[in-house]
Amino acid sequence: MRCKTCKEKIVLHIKSYFRVGRTLALWSWPSRITAIVSILIALYAGIGFLALPPLVKTRLIKTLSERTGRNVELNRLRINPFSLSTTLQKLSIYDPDGSRFIGFDELYINFQTSSLFRWTYTFAQLRLTAPYICVKIRKDKTFNFQDLLPSTNDKSKTQQRSLVPLLIQRLIIDHGQTIFEDYSRTTPFREEINDVSISFQNFTTRPNREGLYEFEAITGHGEALKYRGNISMSPLYSKGRLELSGIKLRSLWSYLQDQLNFKITRGELDISGDYEFDATGETPDILVQQGKIDVRSLTVAEKGSDEEIIALPHLIMSGTDIDFRKKSVKVNHVQSGSTTINAVRDEDGSMNLFALFRPKPGKEEDKTLPSDPNPSTGWVFSIGKIEIADYALHMKDHSTKPVANLDLSPINMKLEDVQIGAPGLARIELEAGFNQTGMITIAGNGAIDHPAVDLNVELSKVLIKPFQPYCERYVRLVIEDGAVTTNGHINYSQAGGSPDIHFQGDIAIESARITDPVLAGDILRCERLDLQQVQYQNSPDLLTINEIIARGLYTDIIIGPDRTANVQHILVSAEPLPEKSESRGTAAHRLSVQIGQVSVTDSSMNFADHSLTPRFATGIQDLNGTIKGLSSEQLARAEINLKGYVDKYAPVTIQGKINPLSDQAFTDINMNFQGIELTTFSSYSGKFAGYKIEKGKLTLGLHYKLSEKILIGENHIVMDQFTLGEKVDGPDVTKLPVRLAIAILKDSRGIIDINLPVRGDLNDPKFRFGPLILKTLVNLIVKAATAPFKMLGALVGSEGEELSFVSFAPGSDSLSQEQQAKLSRLAKALANRPQLRLDLRGTAVEAADRQAIAEQAIMAGIRAQKDAASEGTLTEEEQKRLHKLYRETFKKDDPRDLVSPTDAQGIKLPRDVYKAAVAEAARKRLIEKYPVSEDDLRTLARKRAESIKDFMVHQGGIAEPRVFLLDVNTKASALNGEIRMPLALDAH
């Protein structure tokens, strides 16, 4: 039944067809044509709207998948066969890792039938909505689209083909999104560009056809792209104007942060300019004209810190022309202002700015790059004018302790005609304030290609106090005040490996004040120090100064409570310098110095000793004079002539020749001090001598010669009416008889006149000039106090030790001629020193004088006369008296029993020999037995002192009150058979 029904239906259809055909045959031709066209249109519409989209979609997905090797998704494809348009919706192509690579929400293409007549593929409109592309750089530094690029052979074939003629009357890209990801970097980078919209009119690839295009694109970050110009695809040529604005510098830094040592926290960049791109030649040519770069609100900080290193409000580079073929860049004007730069110098001396902007070395950067054999092929930069205004440079130098703070603000600079990579001189003008006080001004010319400058430099009242931390490396001084003013000219050039430097000008230091931090006092002050006509050159090293003028110079030498002078702790101990090589090599690099004249005006020097109570202070005022011809040349001699006053009234002159600048310093100088009040030194006298100074004046004549580091000095010291005052007690007071020493040194006029020679070797590390003089003077005082007769003898040209005693024969109080002559010399010395007193202590030697007294008494009895001589042969009568005295003394003992009548061999002695022997034996026994009392010895000692006193008073002319007899001494010892009676001096 079912088959029968089907057959009936088929028959009915066939009949219907032939019926329509029969009906159509009855139609008119217009009706027939209309019907046929309608059927064709219906068929065309059916195929275009219904049949073709699924086929094209399937084929498109398959083709894209095969050619890209990626998963492709297309949500919908629509074709409008009447408008010849195609719409693709929701296309996505995925990377092998599953992430979206390329896609869009909608692509609308409207093809024009006019392409048949133009021989060009013509599209009325191509609109791409929400396009998406994600470009990735993988960890292995390959791109995610690298497998889609044609091979080398494919590239060459593609290049040989001509471009397909194409015309797009309107090209629209709306709300595009581009994502860039780079995983090859240490810090992965990802950046999105959203909401990009572009519109082109009449875009074509037809040969020798240019289209005028204008479009704008704005990203989600506010970055904008504006373009207007012509583009020709065949040949490849374009000319127009491009403007980029609002580029976020933070985003650019984020991508490069692994290669940079700094970070950009904010900032925007605008770039605009006219360009021309021409690829018709063998090599493409790019020209940029009237380019402009504008940097705004840029802040740069160090990584790991939020502290700003650079804060740049704006920088504008205008009028930029770039020619890639000629490798030239010309900039008309660079302008910037109100920028702050915070620089830091680390403890090792490195600058943070250099370290921050030095690129980090990459893996390939350690390879040695070949040098360019033809430097002329490099780029040439030419800048018409660079202007910066109101800049500020703040530097903290941590290489010093404490940290040094240096500020240059405001900085205003103008550079004109700057050439880089080509010869040329740039005009330089710079003004900068220094630490908000002084001003630095620089003007002149300079070249960068071959470094050279020719500049006028002016420093106006630049404070030196900020440089205090740098001084503490070398000296323990505090700069309290002072300013430098300089007006000079610097010339620098570097033709070869070593630079050539020349400077000439004037330098002045005003109101300088330097203090000693240990003793908290001024050590140097100067109203003004002028260095006139200073010239320096480094090849050879030479420094010349026409004149140095010091006005109101004041220096202060202070001894502190610990007895340490301020000059002793000024220098900071440093590491020992390496040993010098051969002298020739050292001299070749030694700076030669020549100073025409040093003038000192209204200056002074002060000396104070705070270790004394009361404190001691003195100084030289009104110091004026000159030093002419200072030079480091070995044989040069400078003439010095200075005059001043000690304590306002005592004149001082310093004259001679010096050469302190040479390796072997030379000095031949005379210093004379006239009439210095000795009461000035009362503090020293009280502390060490035990007496204050009542009055007196001091005159010094000092002559020093220094040659080959051997010092020879002559010190002529004259003290007039030097008088000690009241006694002072103290732990440092000497126990020596100071008054006696002064009385010995002082003559009858009340004058002490001393010559003190000194000698020293400066090669001796223990040599100290000041202590050498003081030691010599102290030794003189000690010598006068401890060996007064030796000093007294030296003053009168006699042997000092001989004047300290008088010799007597045992038992005698008589002065020999020799001793009288000695006392005459002593009397002469005492006559010229009226303050000296002579103390006489009578002396007896018990053994020698006792025997002598006994012998004198026995011989007086034997010879029956007073003061009989002990020598000589006894007569017969004297022998009889001797025998009688012997028998009376020894109870009638016979003296002949004392001597044997025969000798050792038993031979009888001759009668006269025997009698003489008996007499001598008896005499000796009588002397031994003779009683000599202590009173006899004291009497003898006193008579000796009296005999000296009588001679000094009557023969020497010494006033009797100046000679004192002291209690006698009977316990002295004899020396070489002499009885030496010591003399003593005292002062009143």
- Give residue 964's pLDDT band: very low, low, confident or very high (50, 70, 90): very high
pLDDT higher for 720 or 28?
A: 720
Q: Given a cut of 50, is residue 376 above it in pLDDT? A: no
pTM: 0.68
Predicted pLDDT of residue 565: 67
pLDDT, tens digit, 9 for 90 and up, residues 664-687: 667 788 878 787 777 776 666 666
Tokens of 150: 């044609």
> What does the block give as tokens for 551?
């006005």
Let me know: does 619 contact 646? Beta carbons within 8 Å.
Answer: yes
pLDDT digits (tens, 9 = 90+) for 84-142: 788 888 889 998 888 888 999 898 888 777 666 666 777 778 888 989 889 888 888 88
Asked if residue 843 has pLDDT above 80, the reply is yes
d(CA 383, CA 420) in angstroms, rounded, equals 9
- Contact by Cβ (8 Å): 759, 712: yes
Alpha-carbon distance 163 to 209, whole Å?
A: 13
pLDDT of residue 578: 46
Q: Quote the pLDDT of residue 847.
A: 82
Residue 285's nearest CA partner among 316, 252, 230, 325 is 325
- pLDDT above 90 as % of the chain: 11
User: What pLDDT score does 303 carry?
Assistant: 81
CA 945 – CA 925 distance, rounded (Å): 31
CA dist 584 and 663 (Å) reads 13
Res 422: pLDDT: 83
| DSSP string across 758-802 | EEEETTSTT--HHHHHHHHHHHHHHHHHHSHHHHHHHHHTS-GGG
Q: Give the DSSP letter of residue 681.
A: G
Label residue 161 by pLDDT band (50, 70, 90): low
Mean pLDDT of 596-615: 77
Q: Give me the pLDDT at residue 160, please.
A: 45
pLDDT of residue 798: 62
Distance CA 836, CA 795 (A): 14
Q: Half-sphere exposure of residue 808, counting CA atoms within 13 Å on the CB side?
A: 28
Kindly tell me if the per-residue pLDDT of 10 is higher than 60.
Answer: no
For residue 906, give every residue at least 6 positions away whose Cβ sits within 8 Å of its Cβ, in sequence order, or none: none
> Which sign, positive or negative, has the C-alpha torsion 733, 736, 740, 745?
negative
Contact 730, 686 (CB under 8 A): yes
pLDDT of residue 581: 42
Range from 250-254, 286-290, 686-690 that averages highest in pLDDT: 286-290
- Look at residues 328, 312, 334 and name the one whose alpha carbon lies nearest to residue 415: 334
H or E segment and range at residue 666: strand 666-677
Query: What's the pLDDT at 575?
Result: 46
- 358/350 Cα distance (integer angstroms): 12
- What rounded mean pLDDT belongs to the chain? 78
As a whole number of Å, the end-to-end CA separation of the chain is: 178
CA distances from 898 to 95, 854, 883 (A): 153, 20, 12
d(CA 290, CA 318): 7
Residue the block writes with tokens 């001597």:
899
Cα of 69 vs its chain's centroid, Å? 68
- Per-residue pLDDT, 947: 93
- Give the pLDDT confidence score for residue 485 in this predicted structure: 92
Evaluate if residue 489 carries a pLDDT over 90: yes
The string of pLDDT tens digits covering residues 699-713 is 877 777 776 667 677
Higher pLDDT, 66 or 722: 66
Question: Edge-to-edge strands of the sheet including 836-843?
Answer: 805-808, 979-987, 836-843, 963-969
pLDDT digits (tens, 9 = 90+) for 855-889: 877 777 787 665 555 565 777 777 777 777 777 77
For residue 577, what pLDDT is reported?
A: 43
How is residue 470 written in tokens?
């740098």
Q: What is the pLDDT of residues 557-575, one digit of tens each?
A: 777 776 666 766 676 654 4
Structure tokens at 509: 């230091």
Q: Note the pLDDT tens digit of each residue in 732-790.
A: 666 767 777 777 777 778 787 777 676 655 555 544 444 445 555 556 666 666 677 77
At 484 the pLDDT is 92
pLDDT for residue 502? 92
Tell me, what's the pLDDT at 771? 47
pLDDT at 233: 65
- Using the predicted structure, report yes or no on whether residue 59 has a pLDDT greater than 60: yes
Model pLDDT for residues 191-232, shown as the tens digit of each residue: 777 777 777 777 676 666 666 667 676 766 777 778 787 777
Give pLDDT, residue 432: 92
CB-CB contact of 869 with 859 (8 Å)? yes
Residue bearing the bigger pLDDT, 12 or 265: 265
* Residue 658 clears pLDDT 90, i.e. is over it: no
Asked if residue 14 has pLDDT above 60, the reply is no
Print the SS3 string covering 30-52.
HHHHHHHHHHHHHHHHHHHHHHH
State the DSSP string of 603-663: EEEEEEETTSSSPEEEEEEEEEEEEEEEESSTT--EEEEEEEEETTTEEEEEEEEEETTSS
**H or E element at residue 478:** strand 478-493
pLDDT 10s digits, 415-446: 999 888 888 888 999 999 988 888 999 999 98
pLDDT recorded at residue 801: 56
**Please, are residues 523 and 516 in contact by the beta-carbon 8 Å criterion?**
yes
pLDDT band at 830 (very low <50, low <70, confident <90, very high): confident
Q: What pLDDT digit, counting tens, does each position of 510-545 carry?
A: 988 988 877 777 888 889 999 999 999 888 888 999
CB 432 within 8 A of CB 409: yes
Task: Classify 377 in phi/psi space as left (phi over 0), alpha (psi -120 to 50) or beta.
Answer: alpha
Residue 330 clears pLDDT 80, i.e. is over it: yes
Which amino acid, one-letter code, is at 626? T
In tens, the pLDDT along 287-320 reads 888 889 999 998 988 887 778 889 999 999 999 9
Radius of gyration of the chain (CA): 60
pLDDT at 576 over 80: no
Angle 332-338-339 from CA coordinates, rounded to 5°: 85
Nearest to 456 by CA among 471, 435, 441, 478: 441
Model confidence at 942, in pLDDT bands (50, 70, 90)? very high
Cβ–Cβ < 8 Å for 317, 281: no
Whether the pLDDT of residue 374 is over 60: the answer is no
What is the band of 366 on the pLDDT scale with cuts at 50, 70, 90? very low
> What pLDDT is recorded for position 350?
80
pLDDT at 168 over 50: yes
Tokens of 66: 């095969």
3-state helix, strand, coil in the chain (%, to 5): 25, 45, 25
